[in-house]
């Protein structure tokens, strides 16, 4: 991922992105694990958020999977960068924010129906407010494959 991020950031600067020069936004939502959210490997979108998915989100982020910001309206923004840390699309910066609800101020870029967010500042960090362990336990039961 560390090799891909500079490429993604350089693409944002190319003339082909002229259709989306970026717009400043402030958005509140949960920092999510994009792999599990989009793939459905751990269950539906409601099962891969909050405290029940925190440990998995840490592993995916540490492994280089880009994180996303799941806004209150259900929009998912792929986070390319946080603050001045060019390597923050995964790694230590994201590890401290996994499953946290934050308000982020940054630049929104859109292409082919996808939304990308370059976060200038995390305005507020409300910690993990989506306590889903009561619903799913520490590992959702449906994440185990059915025996054949």
Share of the chain above pLDDT 70, in %: 69
- The pTM for the full model equals 0.74
Give the per-residue pLDDT at 110: 95
β-partners of residue 30 are 70, 101
Report the phi/psi class of residue 16: left, alpha or beta, with left for phi > 0 and alpha for psi in -120 to 50: alpha
Direct distance between the N- and C-terminal alpha carbons of the chain, in angstroms, rounded to an integer? 36
| Average pLDDT estimate for 67-85 | 90
Query: Cα torsion for 84, 71, 124, 50, to the nearest 10°?
Result: -100
Taking all residues of the chain, what is their mean pLDDT, rounded to a whole number?
Answer: 79
Check whether 17 has a pLDDT greater than 50: no
Q: Considering only residues 66 and 18, tell me which one the structure prediction assigns the higher pLDDT.
A: 66
Report CA 61 to chain centroid distance, whole Å: 9
Give the per-residue pLDDT at 112: 92
Among 49-53, 89-93, 114-118, which stretch is predicted with the lowest mean pLDDT?
Answer: 89-93
Q: Considering only residues 1 and 56, tell me which one the structure prediction assigns the higher pLDDT.
A: 56
62-100: burial string, b at 16+ Cβ within 10 Å, e else: eeebbbbbbbeeeebbbbbbbeeeeebbbbebbeebbbb
């Amino acid at each position: 991922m560390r090799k891909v991020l500079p490429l993604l950031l350089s693409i944002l600067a190319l003339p082909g992105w002229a259709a989306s020069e970026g717009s400043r936004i402030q958005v509140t939502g949960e920092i999510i694990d994009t792999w599990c959210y989009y793939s459905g490997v751990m269950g539906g979108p409601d099962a891969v958020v909050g405290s029940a998915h925190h440990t998995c989100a840490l592993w995916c982020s540490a492994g280089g999977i880009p994180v996303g910001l799941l806004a209150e309206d259900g929009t998912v923004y792929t986070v390319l960068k946080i603050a001045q840390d060019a390597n923050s699309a995964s790694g230590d910066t994201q590890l401290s924010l996994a499953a946290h609800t934050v308000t982020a101020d940054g630049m929104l870029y859109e292409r082919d129906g996808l939304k990308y967010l370059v976060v200038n500042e995390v305005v507020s960090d409300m910690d993990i407010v989506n306590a889903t362990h009561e619903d799913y336990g520490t590992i959702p039961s449906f994440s185990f494959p059915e025996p054949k």
